[in-house]
Amino acid sequence: MADDPEFQKSLTANIKDVLGHLSENEASDVSKYLRSKGVRKLPDLKHITVNILNEKLNFIESSELFSKWQDSYGTRQPDEEPGTSKNTTRRPLSTVRHNARATLQTDLPVFTEDSPYFPSGIKKAIRAEKRPTRSDRESMCERIVDHCREVVPNLERSRLNDVAKQIVEHFPKSFKDTILISAHRSDSLALQLRTKFDNNDRKLKRPKAPLEEEAPATKEAYGCVLWEAPLPAGTTEESLENIRLDMKKTYRVSRKDWDWRVIKKQLQDSYYLQRKHINANAVKTQKQAGPPFRQTSLPAPLCYAGNSVRQGACLLGLPAAFGRAEVTQNVLLACK
């Protein structure tokens, strides 16, 4: 019974046997704390973890009590009966691993109402017996998963289901599923904890190529893009290339030192080369005069009627390299 004074003395003596440096009052205080956690008989001590004992004892004292009680009542209890000869043969490695894993996994933390891993909004919701907000619940799951990973080495993902059940059992008004999915009604909280566990392990994949791609450059084209100017008499492409290089050097000089008469003369003389560079990638096509009236690649020029003054200058074979006023004047003169 929980109120049995004999059990109280027996539990206090059990603690004093392991931790002899504790006073009678300190050992009695620890035993009362264990009884408040639900210990009704000595075999119940196998469920007490180091985290529970840390509320009253330091880590070393808690570890000594945990080790003693696991040897006496828990998973570390030997299989042989008292008085039988001890088997010195080595157990299979798989059994050793299983027992070691079971010992570690039983050391899951217990979260109470005053747990530091509960945000203030969660604590207020628990006291008011209300559902917490979504942001508070997400923050709580993040803290719980991080703490469980610190306390339990090699934490298994499935063990978070036990943590969710324990929280729902203690605070059903705040965390119990409103829609019946299973008997324990902790599926949504368990799913949220497992999702946070998976997100911590997920590696961030960075794109190999930049997300923003540069738009392709617009092809330079104006006027009749398929019209080829004739090569001026007495000139070659090499001589026109020299003129282009001279204009390139002039461009680097200060603008106030430019000789506009020379520049305009160079533009007129190099017009053939300008059109050649602009129309380098243009496709030359012409519709056949007879059947089957299909487009064929022929070396004949093809122009379209432009609406602007510059396009009209191109149609008339005039260079459109100057200002709009000069082009207009040239067009009017050609029309006469």
For 19-34, the DSSP string reads -TTS-HHHHHHHHHHH
The reply to whether 252 and 331 lie within a common domain is yes
pLDDT digits (tens, 9 = 90+) for 24-42: 888 888 888 888 888 888 8
Q: Is residue 150 part of a domain?
A: yes
Alpha-carbon distance 42 to 22, whole Å? 20
Name the band, by pLDDT with cuts 50, 70 and 90, for residue 209: low
Residue 87 has pLDDT above 50, yes or no: no
Q: Is residue 258 part of a domain?
A: yes
Q: Is residue 45 part of a domain?
A: yes
For the question of whether the overall pTM of this predicted structure is more than 0.75, the answer is no
The reply to whether 241 and 331 lie within a common domain is yes
Instruction: Among 25, 46, 77, identify where a domain stops.
Output: 77
Q: How many domains does the chain have?
A: 3
Q: Is residue 96 part of a domain?
A: no
The reply to whether 49 and 130 lie within a common domain is no
pLDDT of 198:
86
The reply to whether 244 and 321 lie within a common domain is yes
Q: Which residues contact 190 (CB under 8 A, 6 or more apart)?
A: 160, 161, 163, 164, 165
Q: Which residues contact 163 (CB under 8 A, 6 or more apart)?
A: 108, 109, 111, 144, 148, 190, 193
Name the band, by pLDDT with cuts 50, 70 and 90, for residue 326: low
The reply to whether 245 and 324 lie within a common domain is yes
% of residues, the chain, pLDDT over 90: 2
Q: Is residue 94 part of a domain?
A: no
Alpha-carbon distance 271 to 186, whole Å? 82
What are the structure tokens assigned to 16, written together?
A: 């004093």
Residue 314 has pLDDT above 50, yes or no: no
For residue 35, the enclosing domain spans: 1-77
Helical axes 134-151 vs 120-128, angle rounded to 10°: 110
Alpha-carbon distance 49 to 152, whole Å? 12
Helical axes 24-36 vs 5-18, angle rounded to 10°: 120
Instruction: Among 77, 109, 140, identify where a domain stops.
Output: 77
